[in-house]
Chain A
Amino acid sequence: MTQTIANGARRIIALLMAISPFVFVAYPGAVAEINRGAQLAAMCASCHRLDGRDEGIPTIIGLDPKKLVETMEAFRSGKRVSQIMNVVARSLSTEEIAALAEYLAVQQRGSERP
Chain B
Amino acid sequence: MNCWTRRQFGYLAGAACLTGLAPRVARSQAKSRVVVIGGGIGGATVARYLAAGAGTIEVTLVEPKLRYATCFFSSLYLAGMRSFESLTHGYETLAQRYGINVIHDAAATIDPVAKTVALKGGSKLPYDRLVLAPGIAFKFGAIEGYDQAATEIMPHAWIAGPQTELLRRQLESMEDGGLFLIVAPPNPFRCPPGPYERASLVAYYFKQFKPKSKILILDAKDSFFGQELFQDAWARHYPGMIEWLPRQFTGGIKAVDVKHLSVETEGETFKAAVVNFIPPQMAGELTQQAGLADQSGWCPIEPTSFESKLQPGIHIIGDAINSGEMPKSAFLANSQAKVCAFAIAAALTGSDRFAPYLFNTCFTFLAADDAVSDAIAFEPTEGTIKISEILISQVGEDAERRRQVVQAANGWYAAFTHDVFG
- Interface residues, chain A, CB within 8 Å of chain B? 20-24, 28, 31-32, 35-36, 39-40, 42-43, 45-49, 54-57, 83-84, 86-88, 90-93, 95-96, 113-114
Contact = CB atoms under 8 A, between A and B. Distances in A.
Contact of B338 (A43, A54, A86): A43
A83 B390 CA distance: 9
Contacts of A95: 10
B51 to A, nearest CB: 7
Contact of A84 (B6, B373, B410, B416): B373
A46 B41 CA distance: 11
Nearest to B393: A83
B95 to A, nearest CB: 14
A79 B230 CA distance: 29
Nearest to A85: B375
A5 to B, nearest CB: 21
B54 A45 contact: no
Interface of B: 6-7, 10-11, 13, 26, 48-49, 51-55, 98, 331, 334-335, 338, 342, 345-346, 349-352, 354-355, 357, 359, 361, 373-377, 379, 388-393, 407-408, 410-412, 414-416, 418-419
A35 B411 CA distance: 27
Given A49-B414, A49-B418, 6 more contacts: A20-B54, A24-B54, A35-B354, A39-B357, A87-B377, A91-B357
A24 B350 contact: yes
A46 B331 contact: yes
Max count, chain A CB within 10 A of own CB: residue among B331, B354, B414, B416: B354
Given A22-B349, A57-B408, A88 B54 contact: no
Contacts of B389: 87, 90-91
Judged by DSSP, the binding face of B is: mixed
A22 B359 contact: no
Central interface residue in A24, A35, A113, by most chain B CB within 10 Å: A24
A91 B414 CA distance: 25
A83 B6 CA distance: 21
Contact of A22 (B334, B351, B357, B392): B351
B415 A22 contact: no
Given A45-B419, A47-B361, A47-B415, A86 B375 contact: yes
Nearest to B415: A49
Given A22-B54, A47-B412, A88 B375 contact: yes
B420 to A, nearest CB: 9
Given A32-B11, A56-B410, A84-B373, A42 B415 contact: no
Contacts of A39: 338, 342, 352, 354, 357
A98 to B, nearest CB: 13
B375 A83 contact: yes
A50 to B, nearest CB: 8
Contacts of A31: 352
A55 B414 contact: yes
Given A42-B338, A86-B391, A87-B389, A114 B412 contact: no
Nearest to A48: B415
Contacts of B355: 96
Contacts of A87: 359, 375-377, 389-391
Interface centre among B48, B392, B419 (most CB of A within 10 A): B419
Contacts of B393: 83
Given A32-B11, A114-B51, A43 B391 contact: no
A84 B375 contact: yes
Contacts of B357: 39-40, 43, 91-92
Contacts of B48: 114
Contacts of B376: 87
A49 B416 CA distance: 8
Contacts of A83: 373-375, 391-393
Nearest to A92: B357
Nearest to A83: B391
B411 A57 contact: yes
A55 B379 CA distance: 30
5 closest residue pairs by CB, A with B: A114-B52, A56-B411, A22-B351, A91-B377, A87-B375
Contact of A24 (B349, B354, B379, B390): B349
A52 B405 CA distance: 21
A21 B52 contact: yes
A46 B419 contact: yes
Contact of B11 (A36, A49, A57, A92): A36
B255 to A, nearest CB: 41
17 contacts: A20-B55, A21-B345, A22-B349, A24-B352, A32-B11, A46-B416, A47-B412, A55-B410, A56-B410, A83-B374, A87-B376, A87-B389, A90-B389, A91-B377, A91-B388, A93-B6, A95-B10
Nearest to B14: A24
Contacts of B419: 45-46, 49
B52 A57 contact: no
Contacts of A113: 52
